[in-house]
Amino acid sequence: MADQLVELNVTGMHCNNCAISVHKLLEKKGFHDILVDFASEEVKFSADNDAAVKDAIKSIEGLGYKVIDDAATHKEKFYDKVENKLIFCALFTIPLLVSMLLPWHFLSDPWAQFALCLPVFIVGCQHFGKSAWSSVKGGVPNMDVLIFIGSSSAFIYSLIGTLQHLGMRYQFYETCATIITLVLLGNLFEKRSVTQTTSAVKDLIKIQQVNARRVVNGEIEVISAKEVRAGDTLQVNTGDKIPVDGEVISGNASVNESMLTGESIPVEKAKYDKLIGGSILEHGNITMMATKVGSNTVLAQIIELMKKAQSAKPPIQKTGDQVAAIFVPAVIIIALVTFVLTWMVGHAGLQHAIMNAIAVLVISCPCAMGLATPTAVMVGLGRAAKNGILIKGGDTVETVTRAKYIVFDKTGTLTTGKFSINDIKAEAGFDTSVIRGTITAIEERSNHPIARSLVDGLKGLPQQKLILKSVTEEKGLGMRAEDVDGNHYFLGASKDKNKDALFNVSLYKNQVLMAQIEIDDEIKPEAASLITQLKGMGIKPVLLSGDRQSRCEKVALALGIKEVHGEKLPSEKLTVIDIYKKKGQTIMVGDGINDAPALTQADIGVSMNDSSQVAIQSAKVILLNTNLYSLVKFLQISRHTLITIKQNLFWAFAYNIVAIPIAAFGFLNPMFGALAMAFSDVVVIGNSLRLKVKKVS
């Protein structure tokens, strides 16, 4: 039986340590293709039978997490909400704190303090204790272990003092209650902040949740976009979101595709033009045919790519994960050593020794280290997506910041991809109208920029149309066709060095030259500025193309590119990419169709195309807006994302390195320690959230 991909919605994971626990559990059980994202509360893995899936769900819930059917419809129980737990605990904690400030003798009574602290302690046991025990069983102790031990120590110490009538010196109920309440406050801030880091994906998911007007026998019925099937006819009016991918059947419209490309200028659509689900029809009315629905739409694939990207770990995260995995046991040992040294060596008294040990436990924060990288990656990828940049993995962000070379394809990348036919040179015995008809018949079957330009350029000119039986595209070479009479045609790049260099496309019939065509395209207006900026960033630009060397050199000279490789077949492009990869990290920028092998071969493949299927599969980065400035924006966002990760890790490590010794030497009250710990996560997440609005340059 083939493995099935299992997708679970798991609530209760609040940091990367939780995700590591679930990941290790599934690894132990022999599952593979495991992907755990604590922020989106998704767990994916491959399983070979239903019994194994049921066992996995049972084991995940055994760790203290909850597997739910649908995250969109799931409603958290009243008593499970962190907000409600915090309010409940605060109602009992505030009187305990008031007793320290005001001379209200009835609040100073040990049994009154016990009664106020007990409900808070029970909530703490339920919230932190269950999670702590589950994490220990899973082999990855989390922060809740430290909180549970610290608060329990204060409670038990106080209870013993109360039972034995040892007096005020043994009453630390307010410490226990305050630790639990403040950490719950930190959990609430953390929960809301993490939600903001995943807002880009959630915004895209909301775009999918629209209705569609399906036309059936002339009647219109309103259905959910999920119910649309390929081949359905849909009516879309002004102001509507286009429900699924499709093609215009009739009508004209202006469509805003900024959700996909980042380009706010509407795109004009007419009959046979492609439509992208989720884009907005700003003006006009059209009838469309659904071509891709459900998980096959461009938007659904983008969402899936972003989810995978956010869970892909950059190499820099490994250090944080390794430290976080051993952090909790190390802190417990430090707390024990602090207790022993303070009590036995320092002769400071049992009470002082316990308070110092508790302070060590509650001020340490492994979550800050666990959150440092994923939160920055999530926000960085989200900001990139809103600029029409799809990055396939968090590891891509770190790789691109070390780039030494950017290798550009020419056609459709540095040039506009809009070609004009300067001249058609017919060979003896061939009529120009027949040549035009042959070119049109062949190139109508291709999506290549040159093909589209040739068809557009020949519209309205006299031509004798050819009826073809088959057409095949050979990447990097051209188009082969066969007509109904059995004649074979080839239309592609001219490779004959003896031919006129100006004529760069040749048409053959049965291996006999019919015509030579001179076509040319314009350099993108922003290309020169881009190359200058890349050089300023210390990145060397390279031109790699299948076009003639003379034309490549002409473009390179205009842009200031010194290294040029022309007339390269797809297989030869791979060799060139390998040469540069040996010199340093190499980015390849291409159109995602002819350059698919080179995009895959490079350290980072960047597609400048219109999110075709080949582009999505081949490149690690897809620039949905073909304006070259989006490439600079991609480099800038990647660079600032890595800076943010380093800042987060520095804060997380520095906080613990400084705070733990301060607590161990008795300079920190456990309540202040709990407050500092509660906000350390928020500082890390807050720094990551700055990426949403931070100026990147």
Ranges of each domain in the chain: 4-73, 80-198+306-377+644-692, 209-300, 385-414+524-632, 417-523
| Averaged pLDDT, 476-488 | 87
Predicted confidence at residue 561, as pLDDT, reads 93
Whether 310 shows a pLDDT value over 60: the answer reads: no
**What would the pLDDT profile of 629-669 be if each residue is shown by its tens digit?**
888 889 999 999 989 988 988 888 888 888 888 888 878 77
**What would the pLDDT profile of 355-411 be if each residue is shown by its tens digit?**
888 888 777 766 677 677 778 888 888 888 888 788 876 678 888 888 999 999 887
SS3 state at 494? coil
Cα–Cα distance for residue pair 255/239, rounded to 1 Å: 10
Name residue 564's beta-bridge partners: 543
Cβ-based burial of 267 (10 A; exposed 0-12, middle 13-18, buried ≥19)? middle
Predicted confidence at residue 557, as pLDDT, reads 92
Cα–Cα distance for residue pair 349/345, rounded to 1 Å: 10
- Pairwise pLDDT comparison (211 vs 499), residue with the higher score: 211
Cα–Cα distance for residue pair 249/235, rounded to 1 Å: 10
Q: Which residues contact 386 (CB under 8 A, 6 or more apart)?
A: 200, 262
Predicted confidence at residue 611, as pLDDT, reads 43
Q: Which two tokens stand for residue 660?
A: 């733990």
Provide the percentage of residues in the chain whose pLDDT is more than 90.
Answer: 14
Cα–Cα distance for residue pair 638/53, rounded to 1 Å: 37
Is domain 4-73 classified as CATH 3.30.70.100? yes
Whether 22 shows a pLDDT value over 90: the answer reads: no
Whether 196 shows a pLDDT value over 70: the answer reads: no
CA angle 371, 373, 374 (to 5 degrees): 70
Predicted confidence at residue 592, as pLDDT, reads 56
Cα–Cα distance for residue pair 23/321, rounded to 1 Å: 13
Predicted confidence at residue 308, as pLDDT, reads 66
Query: What one-character DSSP code corresponds to residue 241?
Result: B
**What would the pLDDT profile of 558-614 be if each residue is shown by its tens digit?**
999 999 998 887 778 888 999 999 999 999 998 755 677 788 888 888 887 554 455
Positive/negative CA dihedral, 504, 509, 515, 521: negative
Whether 285 shows a pLDDT value over 60: the answer reads: yes
Domain 385-414+524-632, CATH class in plain words: alpha beta
Q: Which residues contact 539 (CB under 8 A, 6 or more apart)?
A: 403, 404, 405, 406, 635
Average model confidence (pLDDT) for the chain?
80
Least confident of 438-442, 474-478, 569-573, 580-584: 474-478
Q: Which residues contact 194 (CB under 8 A, 6 or more apart)?
A: 14, 38, 39, 371, 375, 685
Listed residue (144, 124, 153) closest to 190, CA to CA: 144
Cα–Cα distance for residue pair 580/587, rounded to 1 Å: 9
| Averaged pLDDT, 510-526 | 85
Exactly one of 240, 245, 409, 595 is catalytic; which is it? 409
Name residue 638's beta-bridge partners: none
Whether 508 shows a pLDDT value over 80: the answer reads: yes
**φ and ψ at 516, to 5 degrees?**
-115, 140
Is domain 209-300 classified as CATH 2.70.150.10? yes
Measured in whole angstroms, the distance separating CA 687 from the mean position of its chain's CA atoms is 18
SS3 state at 228? coil
Whether 409 sits among the annotated catalytic residues: the reply is yes
When mean pLDDT is compared over 51-55, 117-121, 371-375, 660-664, the highest value belongs to 117-121
| Averaged pLDDT, 514-542 | 88
Cα–Cα distance for residue pair 577/686, rounded to 1 Å: 40
Whether 143 shows a pLDDT value over 90: the answer reads: no
Question: What's the pLDDT band for 61 if we cut at 50, 70, 90?
Answer: confident
Predicted confidence at residue 1, as pLDDT, reads 46
- Pairwise pLDDT comparison (454 vs 101), residue with the higher score: 454
Predicted confidence at residue 204, as pLDDT, reads 67
486: left (phi over 0), alpha (psi -120 to 50) or beta: left
Element housing 38 (H / E): none
373-409: string of b/e by CB count within 10 Å (b at 16+)? bbbbbbbbbbbbbbbbbbbbbbbbbbbbbebebbbbb
Listed residue (565, 557, 520) closest to 415, CA to CA: 520
| Furthest-apart CA atoms within the chain: distance in Å | 116
Predicted confidence at residue 320, as pLDDT, reads 60
Least confident of 5-14, 62-71, 96-105, 193-202: 193-202
When mean pLDDT is compared over 108-122, 312-326, 418-432, the highest value belongs to 108-122
Contact status, residue 464 vs residue 484, Cβ threshold 8 Å: no
Q: Is the full-model pTM beyond 0.85? A: no
SS3 state at 419? strand
Name residue 247's beta-bridge partners: 274, 289
Q: How many helices (H) and strands (E) does the chain have?
A: 24, 24
SS3 state at 472? strand
Domain 417-523, CATH class in plain words: alpha beta
Cα–Cα distance for residue pair 204/202, rounded to 1 Å: 5
444-479: string of b/e by CB count within 10 Å (b at 16+)? eebebbbbbbbbebbeeeebeebebeebebeebbbb
**What would the pLDDT profile of 598-620 be if each residue is shown by its tens digit?**
888 888 888 875 544 555 566 78
Provide the percentage of residues in the chain whose pLDDT is more than 70.
Answer: 84
